[in-house]
Amino acid sequence: MVFSLCKGFVKGDTYEARDLVQEVFIRVWNALPDFKGNASPKTWIYRISVNTCLLHLRNQQTNLIQPLNENLQDISQEEENTPSDYSELYSAINQLAEMDRIIILLVLDELKYDEISAIVGIAEGALRVRIHRSKQKLNEILNNYGK
């Protein structure tokens, strides 16, 4: 689950996602003594994953300034047995705003809304609105691929 979240953040780059996963679990290991059990371990690890990915994106901000078409990468068809149809979906997800991208990736990982709400730090009602708007935006993007 952490790998697919990281892969979504790095636009399908498997190698970069693997590096991020390692960084996430190093941070999890280092933060383990501070884990108080207020959240489920899964939610706690997701929060660390999201923070690590966001930090990674901020550190590479100069790369994000490039035009979107240059920055997108197709997802390798042989990696992780992912059907080629998913490459368009990941490309569309990468066109969403950063927080919306996080939320949609968590929805695709089939997390419950209360878990996603805890991970991203917004109220569940606001989360539902963002999910709805993100799905509408994804539909628009995907419908324009064929044109």
DSSP 72: -
pLDDT score, position 146: 60
pLDDT score, position 61: 58
Residue type, 52: T
The three-point CA angle 108-55-24 to 5° equals 65
CATH number for the domain that contains residue 45: 1.20.140
pLDDT score, position 24: 93
For the chain (147 residues), the mean pLDDT of every run of 10, in chain order, is 84 86 93 86 87 80 47 43 62 84 84 85 90 90 75
pLDDT score, position 21: 93
pLDDT score, position 125: 92
89 HSE (CA, 13 A, CB side):
11
DSSP 74: P
Q: 134: domain range?
A: 2-145
Q: What is the pTM of this model?
A: 0.57
Structural domain count of the chain: 1
pLDDT score, position 85: 56
d(CA 118, CA 27): 19
**Which residues fall within 8 angstroms of residue 64, CB to CB, at 6 or more apart?**
57, 71
